[in-house]
């Protein structure tokens, strides 16, 4: 099973990571591969089960049922060839949500049309779509940047606009990919009407989405210095941003002016940045409850001649019964009597020929 962004998956018995496994019906592990960077959550509660960041990492999400017993296990001195056997116990099931967060060292963020894709195409071999209109980039692009025999992975995040953290524009769908990056390159459009306002807006959206994003090392890069209007407004924008405590640089991605110096500075920032850490499952407050009796059952009348018997033990017994063998059916009837279900049905008013449902099975009642 692979996840390209996010989605839900029903696991039928077990799991792995960077790869993802589950246990099959016969108890053997079944491996379901996922790309590194996949978060595994319980779909009902949203609880984080695992953050699979390393190739080969594994996590067990559900357990398979115990194996059944063959007819030899039921042999006795007086019945040495019994025609009774037991199926394997059904495995656990649960719905999971798999969410991919790209694993990149550097995230390139900025307003639409700031030149992020152009910059990525200049500093790496990536070839994202580039055009002179907003929202050209519809999905994150990854590129490997190499300099002096060293590399880092950069991600071009689609343009962010005001309200992106709440779902406006396209960038909100990809903000989670920035969470794994160690350094941010905040690219400003030198041809914009107010680059400093764009800077404040993007930083606000990052902080509203995840407060920790504001703590990441950030290099503010003023782009399009090949344009006269960018050259004119750069000194004032630089002074405003540096007054906020951010490091700045000016480049022209199109003309490739000072791009190499920018890449060298990003390498230095990566050396100084803390190592990446996987997201840890949140600790849940323990809830103490009275343990359920696995042998407990309930009887409900569904119609004039139809009944439903529910309970973990009896439903498991029904699933493990070979209904094609008379001796297996007799054994199941003994289980009904042992648990008190037989008498409970009589007391409830079951009649000859009534349908009794147990789990996924329909039985006809005979005295």
pLDDT in tens, the chain (367 residues): 333 333 444 454 433 334 444 445 444 566 777 776 677 778 777 777 777 767 777 777 777 767 667 666 677 666 666 767 666 667 777 788 776 666 778 888 888 888 888 898 899 887 755 545 444 445 677 888 899 889 888 888 875 644 443 444 444 456 777 777 889 999 999 988 899 988 988 888 887 877 787 788 999 999 999 999 999 999 999 999 999 999 999 999 999 999 999 999 999 999 998 876 655 555 554 444 445 566 788 888 888 889 898 888 888 888 878 777 787 788 888 888 888 888 888 888 888 888 888 888 888 888 7
pTM tops 0.75, yes or no:
no
Do residues 12 and 32 both lie within one domain? yes
Which of 85, 100, 115 represents a domain boundary (last residue)? 100
Do residues 265 and 213 both lie within one domain? yes
Do residues 39 and 151 both lie within one domain? no
Give me the CATH number covering residue 216. Answer: 3.40.50.300
Do residues 147 and 267 both lie within one domain? yes
Q: What is the pLDDT of residue 101?
A: 65
Which of 42, 67, 100 represents a domain boundary (last residue)? 100
| SS3 (DSSP) at 139 | coil
* Euclidean distance between CA atoms 198 and 202, whole angstroms: 6
Burial profile 156-183: b = 16 or more Cβ within 10 angstroms, e = fewer:
bbbbbbeebbeeebbbbbbbbbbbbbbb
Do residues 303 and 242 both lie within one domain? no
Do residues 134 and 161 both lie within one domain? yes
108 CB neighbour count, 10 Å cutoff: 26
Phi-psi region of 149 (alpha: psi -120 to 50; beta: other; left: phi over 0): left
Q: What is the pLDDT of residue 186?
A: 92
Domain span at 174:
106-272
Q: What is the pLDDT of residue 22?
A: 47
Do residues 145 and 47 both lie within one domain? no
| Under 8 Å between Cβ of 322 and 306 | no
| Under 8 Å between Cβ of 64 and 27 | yes
Do residues 110 and 213 both lie within one domain? yes
Backbone φ and ψ for 74, nearest 5 degrees, come out as -105, 5
Number of residues assigned to the chain: 367
Do residues 168 and 57 both lie within one domain? no
| SS3 (DSSP) at 316 | helix
Q: What is the pLDDT of residue 169?
A: 44
| Under 8 Å between Cβ of 157 and 181 | no
Domain count within the chain: 3
Give me the sign of the Cα torsion angle 261, 267, 271, 272.
positive
């Amino acid at each position: 099973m692979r996840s390209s962004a996010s989605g839900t998956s029903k696991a039928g018995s077990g799991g792995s990571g960077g790869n993802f496994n589950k246990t099959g019906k016969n108890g053997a592990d079944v491996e379901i591969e996922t790309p590194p960077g996949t978060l595994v959550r319980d779909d009902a509660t949203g609880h984080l089960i695992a953050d699979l960041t390393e190739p080969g990492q594994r996590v067990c999400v559900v357990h398979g049922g115990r194996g059944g017993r063959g007819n030899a296990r039921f042999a006795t001195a007086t019945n040495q060839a019994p025609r009774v056997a037991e199926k394997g116990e059904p495995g656990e099931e649960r719905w999971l949500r798999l969410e991919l967060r790209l694993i990149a060292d550097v995230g390139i963020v900025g307003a639409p049309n700031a030149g992020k894709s152009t910059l990525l195409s200049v500093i790496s071999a990536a070839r994202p779509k580039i055009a002179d209109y907003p929202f050209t980039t519809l999905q994150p692009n990854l590129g490997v940047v190499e300099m002096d025999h060293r590399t880092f992975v950069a991600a071009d995040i689609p343009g962010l606009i005001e309200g992106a953290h709440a779902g406006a524009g396209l960038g909100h769908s990809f903000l989670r990919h920035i969470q794994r990056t160690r350094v941010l390159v905040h690219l400003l459009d030198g041809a914009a009407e107010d680059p400093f306002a764009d800077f404040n807006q993007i930083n606000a959206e990052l902080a509203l989405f995840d407060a920790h994003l504001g703590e990441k090392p950030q290099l503010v890069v003023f782009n399009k210095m090949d344009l006269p209007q960018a050259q004119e407004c750069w000194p004032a924008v630089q002074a405003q941003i540096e007054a906020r405590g951010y490091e700045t640089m000016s480049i022209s991605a199109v003309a490739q002016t000072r791009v190499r110096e920018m890449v060298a500075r990003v390498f230095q920032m990566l050396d100084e940045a803390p190592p990446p850490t996987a997201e840890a499952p949140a600790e849940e407050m323990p809830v103490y409850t009275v343990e359920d009796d696995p042998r407990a059952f309930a009887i409900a009348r569904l119609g004039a001649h139809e009944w439903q018997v529910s309970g973990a033990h009896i439903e498991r017994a029904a699933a493990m019964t070979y209904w094609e063998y008379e001796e297996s059916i007799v054994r199941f009837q003994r289980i009904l009597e042992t648990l008190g279900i037989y008498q409970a049905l009589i007391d409830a008013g079951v009649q000859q020929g009534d349908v009794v449902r147990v789990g996924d099975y329909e039985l006809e009642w005979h005295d």
